[in-house]
Amino acid sequence: MFDITSYEEANSVQHAIDLLAANPQAQLIAGGTDVIIRLREGKVSDANLISIHDLDELKGVSIKTDGTIVIKPVTTFTSLAEHPIIKQHLPFLGEAVSTVGGPQTRHVGTIGGNVCNGATSADSASTLFALNARLCITGPSGIRTSTIQDFYKGPGKVALTHGEILTAILISPKDYLGFSGHYIKYTLRNAMDIAMLGCSVTVKLGIDHSVADFRLAFGVAAPTPMRCLRTEAAVKGHHFSEDLVERVGELAVSEVNPRTSWRASKEYRLQLVGELSKRAFRKAMSKTGGKGV
Ligand SMILES: Cc1cc2nc3c(=O)[nH]c(=O)nc-3n(C[C@H](O)[C@H](O)[C@H](O)COP(=O)(O)OP(=O)(O)OC[C@H]3O[C@@H](n4cnc5c(N)ncnc54)[C@H](O)[C@@H]3O)c2cc1C
Protein backbone atom coordinates (compact mmCIF):
# COMPACT_ATOMS: atom_id res chain seq x y z
CA MET A 1 0.00 0.00 0.00
CA PHE A 2 2.80 2.42 0.90
CA ASP A 3 5.77 2.25 -1.45
CA ILE A 4 8.47 3.24 1.08
CA THR A 5 12.06 2.28 0.31
CA SER A 6 13.70 3.79 3.38
CA TYR A 7 12.69 5.63 6.53
CA GLU A 8 15.13 7.36 8.88
CA GLU A 9 14.50 9.46 11.95
CA ALA A 10 16.67 12.55 12.30
CA ASN A 11 17.96 13.27 15.81
CA SER A 12 18.77 16.95 15.09
CA VAL A 13 18.35 19.53 12.34
CA GLN A 14 21.97 19.00 11.33
CA HIS A 15 21.41 15.23 11.21
CA ALA A 16 18.39 15.76 8.93
CA ILE A 17 20.49 17.98 6.64
CA ASP A 18 23.24 15.32 6.54
CA LEU A 19 20.72 12.56 5.80
CA LEU A 20 19.25 14.64 2.97
CA ALA A 21 22.74 15.34 1.60
CA ALA A 22 23.50 11.62 1.60
CA ASN A 23 20.36 10.78 -0.38
CA PRO A 24 19.28 13.01 -3.29
CA GLN A 25 15.96 11.08 -3.50
CA ALA A 26 15.06 11.60 0.15
CA GLN A 27 12.25 13.84 1.33
CA LEU A 28 11.28 15.19 4.72
CA ILE A 29 8.22 14.12 6.60
CA ALA A 30 6.90 16.11 9.57
CA GLY A 31 3.28 15.21 10.44
CA GLY A 32 2.94 13.21 7.23
CA THR A 33 -0.66 14.31 6.52
CA ASP A 34 0.34 15.34 2.99
CA VAL A 35 3.24 12.96 2.37
CA ILE A 36 1.38 9.83 3.45
CA ILE A 37 -1.73 10.76 1.47
CA ARG A 38 0.42 11.25 -1.66
CA LEU A 39 1.99 7.83 -1.05
CA ARG A 40 -1.36 6.18 -0.50
CA GLU A 41 -2.71 7.69 -3.70
CA GLY A 42 0.31 6.35 -5.59
CA LYS A 43 1.48 9.86 -6.52
CA VAL A 44 4.86 9.05 -4.94
CA SER A 45 6.62 5.73 -5.29
CA ASP A 46 9.89 4.40 -3.99
CA ALA A 47 9.81 6.95 -1.16
CA ASN A 48 12.88 7.66 0.94
CA LEU A 49 11.61 9.45 4.04
CA ILE A 50 13.52 11.41 6.65
CA SER A 51 11.40 12.20 9.66
CA ILE A 52 11.74 15.45 11.60
CA HIS A 53 8.57 14.62 13.54
CA ASP A 54 10.30 14.10 16.90
CA LEU A 55 12.73 17.04 16.83
CA ASP A 56 11.91 19.15 19.90
CA GLU A 57 14.17 21.93 18.54
CA LEU A 58 11.60 22.37 15.74
CA LYS A 59 8.56 22.61 18.02
CA GLY A 60 6.90 25.41 19.96
CA VAL A 61 6.37 29.17 19.97
CA SER A 62 8.46 31.83 21.72
CA ILE A 63 9.10 35.58 21.75
CA LYS A 64 12.56 37.08 21.31
CA THR A 65 13.66 40.07 23.40
CA ASP A 66 12.95 42.38 20.42
CA GLY A 67 9.33 41.15 20.36
CA THR A 68 9.68 38.88 17.32
CA ILE A 69 7.39 35.85 17.58
CA VAL A 70 9.15 32.63 16.59
CA ILE A 71 6.95 29.74 15.45
CA LYS A 72 8.81 26.47 14.98
CA PRO A 73 7.64 24.50 11.92
CA VAL A 74 6.91 21.13 13.54
CA THR A 75 4.31 22.74 15.81
CA THR A 76 0.98 21.05 15.19
CA PHE A 77 -2.09 23.16 14.41
CA THR A 78 -3.63 22.16 17.76
CA SER A 79 -0.57 23.16 19.80
CA LEU A 80 -0.27 26.39 17.83
CA ALA A 81 -3.90 27.41 18.37
CA GLU A 82 -3.67 26.57 22.08
CA HIS A 83 -0.34 28.28 22.71
CA PRO A 84 -0.59 31.23 25.16
CA ILE A 85 1.59 33.48 22.96
CA ILE A 86 -0.65 32.84 19.95
CA LYS A 87 -3.79 33.35 22.04
CA GLN A 88 -2.46 36.65 23.37
CA HIS A 89 -0.81 38.15 20.28
CA LEU A 90 -2.05 36.29 17.19
CA PRO A 91 -5.47 34.85 18.02
CA PHE A 92 -6.53 35.24 14.39
CA LEU A 93 -3.69 32.94 13.26
CA GLY A 94 -4.87 30.40 15.85
CA GLU A 95 -8.42 30.75 14.48
CA ALA A 96 -7.16 30.29 10.91
CA VAL A 97 -5.31 27.04 11.64
CA SER A 98 -8.27 25.76 13.64
CA THR A 99 -10.17 25.58 10.33
CA VAL A 100 -7.78 22.92 8.96
CA GLY A 101 -9.39 19.50 8.35
CA GLY A 102 -10.72 17.84 11.48
CA PRO A 103 -9.27 17.35 14.98
CA GLN A 104 -7.17 14.33 13.91
CA THR A 105 -5.50 16.31 11.10
CA ARG A 106 -4.90 19.29 13.40
CA HIS A 107 -3.30 17.06 16.06
CA VAL A 108 -0.77 15.71 13.56
CA GLY A 109 -0.43 18.25 10.73
CA THR A 110 2.14 20.99 11.23
CA ILE A 111 2.32 24.64 10.23
CA GLY A 112 5.69 23.98 8.56
CA GLY A 113 4.22 21.21 6.41
CA ASN A 114 1.32 23.50 5.52
CA VAL A 115 3.69 26.19 4.23
CA CYS A 116 6.21 23.82 2.60
CA ASN A 117 3.66 21.89 0.55
CA GLY A 118 3.13 25.10 -1.45
CA ALA A 119 -0.67 24.84 -1.73
CA THR A 120 -2.52 28.09 -2.39
CA SER A 121 -5.34 26.67 -0.24
CA ALA A 122 -3.15 26.27 2.86
CA ASP A 123 -5.21 27.69 5.71
CA SER A 124 -2.21 29.21 7.50
CA ALA A 125 -0.84 30.90 4.40
CA SER A 126 -3.01 33.97 3.82
CA THR A 127 -2.74 35.04 7.46
CA LEU A 128 1.04 34.52 7.35
CA PHE A 129 1.05 36.72 4.20
CA ALA A 130 -0.97 39.38 6.04
CA LEU A 131 1.56 39.19 8.89
CA ASN A 132 4.56 39.64 6.55
CA ALA A 133 5.98 36.40 7.94
CA ARG A 134 9.64 35.69 7.33
CA LEU A 135 10.98 32.16 7.05
CA CYS A 136 14.27 30.84 8.41
CA ILE A 137 15.64 28.12 6.20
CA THR A 138 18.58 25.99 7.29
CA GLY A 139 20.64 24.03 4.79
CA PRO A 140 24.10 22.68 4.08
CA SER A 141 25.49 26.21 3.66
CA GLY A 142 23.90 27.74 6.76
CA ILE A 143 20.78 29.73 7.53
CA ARG A 144 19.00 32.11 5.15
CA THR A 145 15.82 34.15 5.54
CA SER A 146 13.06 34.56 2.98
CA THR A 147 9.84 36.54 2.97
CA ILE A 148 6.81 34.29 2.69
CA GLN A 149 5.96 36.03 -0.59
CA ASP A 150 9.29 35.00 -2.13
CA PHE A 151 8.93 31.46 -0.78
CA TYR A 152 5.82 30.58 -2.81
CA LYS A 153 6.88 29.98 -6.41
CA GLY A 154 3.78 28.43 -7.98
CA PRO A 155 1.20 25.71 -7.36
CA GLY A 156 2.93 23.18 -5.08
CA LYS A 157 6.29 24.89 -5.59
CA VAL A 158 8.34 26.58 -2.86
CA ALA A 159 11.84 28.02 -2.78
CA LEU A 160 13.54 25.12 -1.00
CA THR A 161 16.47 23.32 -2.52
CA HIS A 162 17.31 19.73 -1.65
CA GLY A 163 18.85 19.63 1.82
CA GLU A 164 17.08 22.74 3.08
CA ILE A 165 14.67 22.69 6.02
CA LEU A 166 12.24 25.34 7.18
CA THR A 167 13.39 25.90 10.76
CA ALA A 168 11.36 28.92 11.95
CA ILE A 169 8.57 31.29 11.00
CA LEU A 170 9.19 34.82 12.28
CA ILE A 171 6.62 37.57 12.88
CA SER A 172 7.98 41.04 13.70
CA PRO A 173 6.32 43.19 16.38
CA LYS A 174 5.62 45.89 13.77
CA ASP A 175 3.42 43.34 11.99
CA TYR A 176 1.33 42.16 14.94
CA LEU A 177 1.39 44.66 17.83
CA GLY A 178 -1.93 46.52 17.88
CA PHE A 179 -3.36 44.49 15.00
CA SER A 180 -6.67 42.66 14.98
CA GLY A 181 -7.45 40.13 12.33
CA HIS A 182 -9.95 37.74 10.89
CA TYR A 183 -9.78 34.74 8.57
CA ILE A 184 -12.71 33.37 6.61
CA LYS A 185 -12.46 29.96 5.00
CA TYR A 186 -15.19 29.34 2.45
CA THR A 187 -15.88 25.67 1.80
CA LEU A 188 -18.57 23.45 0.37
CA ARG A 189 -18.86 21.67 3.72
CA ASN A 190 -18.30 22.89 7.26
CA ALA A 191 -15.70 20.27 8.15
CA MET A 192 -12.88 18.35 6.50
CA ASP A 193 -12.80 20.40 3.34
CA ILE A 194 -10.11 22.36 1.53
CA ALA A 195 -10.84 26.08 1.09
CA MET A 196 -12.75 27.15 -2.01
CA LEU A 197 -11.45 30.56 -1.03
CA GLY A 198 -9.58 31.81 2.03
CA CYS A 199 -9.54 35.48 3.02
CA SER A 200 -7.46 37.05 5.76
CA VAL A 201 -7.65 40.66 6.94
CA THR A 202 -5.46 42.32 9.55
CA VAL A 203 -6.08 45.89 10.63
CA LYS A 204 -4.59 48.43 13.01
CA LEU A 205 -6.21 51.68 14.05
CA GLY A 206 -4.41 55.01 14.48
CA ILE A 207 -4.92 57.31 17.46
CA ASP A 208 -7.60 59.17 15.50
CA HIS A 209 -9.31 55.79 14.93
CA SER A 210 -8.60 55.87 11.21
CA VAL A 211 -7.26 52.69 9.58
CA ALA A 212 -3.52 53.12 10.09
CA ASP A 213 -2.63 49.75 8.60
CA PHE A 214 -4.65 47.24 6.61
CA ARG A 215 -3.62 43.99 4.99
CA LEU A 216 -5.78 41.84 2.74
CA ALA A 217 -4.59 38.38 1.71
CA PHE A 218 -6.22 35.49 -0.11
CA GLY A 219 -5.70 31.80 -0.64
CA VAL A 220 -7.04 30.14 -3.83
CA ALA A 221 -7.49 33.56 -5.48
CA ALA A 222 -4.35 32.96 -7.57
CA PRO A 223 -1.84 30.13 -8.15
CA THR A 224 -0.18 31.08 -4.84
CA PRO A 225 -1.49 32.87 -1.75
CA MET A 226 -1.42 36.62 -2.40
CA ARG A 227 -1.80 40.12 -0.96
CA CYS A 228 -3.98 42.86 -2.50
CA LEU A 229 -1.57 45.76 -2.22
CA ARG A 230 -3.58 48.33 -4.22
CA THR A 231 -6.68 47.68 -2.12
CA GLU A 232 -4.59 48.00 1.03
CA ALA A 233 -3.18 51.37 -0.08
CA ALA A 234 -6.68 52.66 -0.85
CA VAL A 235 -7.88 51.89 2.68
CA LYS A 236 -5.00 53.21 4.78
CA GLY A 237 -5.59 56.58 6.39
CA HIS A 238 -9.38 56.46 5.98
CA HIS A 239 -12.00 56.13 8.66
CA PHE A 240 -14.05 52.97 8.65
CA SER A 241 -17.39 53.29 6.86
CA GLU A 242 -19.68 51.12 4.77
CA ASP A 243 -18.46 53.04 1.68
CA LEU A 244 -14.92 51.98 2.53
CA VAL A 245 -16.07 48.38 2.94
CA GLU A 246 -17.69 48.47 -0.51
CA ARG A 247 -14.51 49.93 -1.98
CA VAL A 248 -12.49 47.05 -0.51
CA GLY A 249 -14.80 44.52 -2.17
CA GLU A 250 -14.64 46.26 -5.57
CA LEU A 251 -10.88 46.78 -5.57
CA ALA A 252 -10.03 43.29 -4.30
CA VAL A 253 -11.85 41.71 -7.26
CA SER A 254 -9.66 43.72 -9.65
CA GLU A 255 -6.44 42.39 -8.08
CA VAL A 256 -6.99 38.63 -7.89
CA ASN A 257 -6.61 35.94 -10.51
CA PRO A 258 -8.57 32.83 -9.51
CA ARG A 259 -9.11 29.86 -11.78
CA THR A 260 -11.94 27.48 -12.43
CA SER A 261 -11.59 24.10 -10.71
CA TRP A 262 -14.02 21.31 -9.84
CA ARG A 263 -14.63 23.10 -6.52
CA ALA A 264 -15.75 26.41 -8.03
CA SER A 265 -15.73 28.46 -11.21
CA LYS A 266 -13.52 31.52 -11.62
CA GLU A 267 -16.66 33.70 -11.65
CA TYR A 268 -17.92 32.23 -8.37
CA ARG A 269 -14.51 32.74 -6.76
CA LEU A 270 -14.47 36.37 -7.94
CA GLN A 271 -17.83 36.90 -6.29
CA LEU A 272 -16.47 35.30 -3.11
CA VAL A 273 -13.42 37.59 -3.19
CA GLY A 274 -15.69 40.65 -3.21
CA GLU A 275 -17.99 39.34 -0.49
CA LEU A 276 -15.45 37.71 1.85
CA SER A 277 -13.08 40.67 1.78
CA LYS A 278 -15.93 42.89 2.96
CA ARG A 279 -17.01 40.44 5.66
CA ALA A 280 -13.47 39.86 6.91
CA PHE A 281 -12.80 43.63 6.97
CA ARG A 282 -15.97 44.29 9.01
CA LYS A 283 -15.17 41.46 11.39
CA ALA A 284 -11.52 42.46 11.85
CA MET A 285 -12.68 46.03 12.53
CA SER A 286 -15.21 44.84 15.10
CA LYS A 287 -12.40 43.01 16.88
CA THR A 288 -10.47 46.29 17.23
CA GLY A 289 -13.40 47.72 19.18
CA GLY A 290 -12.73 50.92 17.21
CA LYS A 291 -15.06 53.90 16.98
CA GLY A 292 -17.58 53.91 14.18
CA VAL A 293 -17.53 50.15 13.70
C1 LIG B 1 -7.92 14.62 5.92
C2 LIG B 1 -7.08 15.84 5.63
C3 LIG B 1 -7.65 17.08 5.69
C4 LIG B 1 -6.88 18.22 5.41
N5 LIG B 1 -7.47 19.45 5.48
C6 LIG B 1 -6.73 20.57 5.28
C7 LIG B 1 -7.33 21.85 5.39
O8 LIG B 1 -8.52 21.99 5.67
N9 LIG B 1 -6.52 22.93 5.20
C10 LIG B 1 -5.20 22.83 4.90
O11 LIG B 1 -4.53 23.85 4.75
N12 LIG B 1 -4.61 21.62 4.76
C13 LIG B 1 -5.34 20.49 4.94
N14 LIG B 1 -4.77 19.24 4.80
C15 LIG B 1 -3.38 19.15 4.35
C16 LIG B 1 -2.34 18.94 5.48
O17 LIG B 1 -2.91 18.44 6.66
C18 LIG B 1 -1.61 20.24 5.83
O19 LIG B 1 -1.05 20.81 4.66
C20 LIG B 1 -0.53 20.05 6.89
O21 LIG B 1 -0.13 21.31 7.35
C22 LIG B 1 0.71 19.34 6.41
O23 LIG B 1 1.60 19.25 7.52
P24 LIG B 1 2.40 17.91 7.79
O25 LIG B 1 3.32 18.17 8.93
O26 LIG B 1 1.49 16.76 7.92
O27 LIG B 1 3.21 17.83 6.43
P28 LIG B 1 3.97 16.58 5.77
O29 LIG B 1 3.00 15.70 5.08
O30 LIG B 1 4.87 15.92 6.75
O31 LIG B 1 4.86 17.39 4.72
C32 LIG B 1 4.28 18.19 3.71
C33 LIG B 1 5.37 18.70 2.78
O34 LIG B 1 6.19 19.64 3.45
C35 LIG B 1 7.54 19.22 3.53
N36 LIG B 1 7.98 19.63 4.86
C37 LIG B 1 7.34 19.41 6.04
N38 LIG B 1 7.99 20.06 7.02
C39 LIG B 1 9.06 20.68 6.46
C40 LIG B 1 10.10 21.52 6.97
N41 LIG B 1 10.16 21.89 8.27
N42 LIG B 1 11.03 21.98 6.12
C43 LIG B 1 10.97 21.67 4.80
N44 LIG B 1 10.00 20.89 4.26
C45 LIG B 1 9.06 20.40 5.08
C46 LIG B 1 7.50 17.71 3.29
O47 LIG B 1 8.70 17.23 2.75
C48 LIG B 1 6.33 17.61 2.32
O49 LIG B 1 6.77 17.93 1.01
C50 LIG B 1 -5.51 18.08 5.07
C51 LIG B 1 -4.94 16.81 5.03
C52 LIG B 1 -5.71 15.70 5.30
C53 LIG B 1 -5.06 14.35 5.25
* Ligand 1 neighbourhood includes 187 CB (under 6 angstroms): no
* Ligand 1 neighbourhood includes 110 CB (under 6 angstroms): yes
* Ligand 1 neighbourhood includes 131 CB (under 6 angstroms): no
Least confident of 37-41, 121-125, 150-154: 37-41
Ligand 1 atom at shortest distance from the alpha carbon of 116: 34
Q: Which of 55, 46, 47 is nearest to 17 (CA)?
A: 55
* Ligand 1 neighbourhood includes 271 CB (under 6 angstroms): no
pLDDT in tens, 60-90: 999 999 999 999 999 999 999 999 999 999 9
15-40 mean pLDDT: 96
Integer Cα distance of 200 and 229 in angstroms: 13
Give the dihedral of Cα atoms 139, 143, 149, 154; nearest 10 deg: -10
From 25, 33, 51, mutation site for ligand 1 pocket: most ligand atoms within 8 A of C-beta: 33
Burial class, 218, CB count within 10 angstroms (exposed 0-12 / middle 13-18 / buried 19+)? buried
- Write the residue with the smallest CA distance to atom 15 of ligand 1: 34
Q: Which of 114, 27, 51 is nearest to 77 (CA)?
A: 114
pLDDT in tens, 241-268: 999 999 999 999 999 999 999 888 999 9
**Crossing angle between the packed helical segments 266-288 and 242-255, to the nearest 10 degrees:** 140
Ligand 1 atom at shortest distance from the alpha carbon of 102: 3
211-235 mean pLDDT: 97
Please state whether 132 falls in left (phi above 0), alpha (psi between -120 and 50) or beta: left
pLDDT in tens, 98-141: 999 999 999 999 999 999 999 999 999 999 999 999 999 999 99
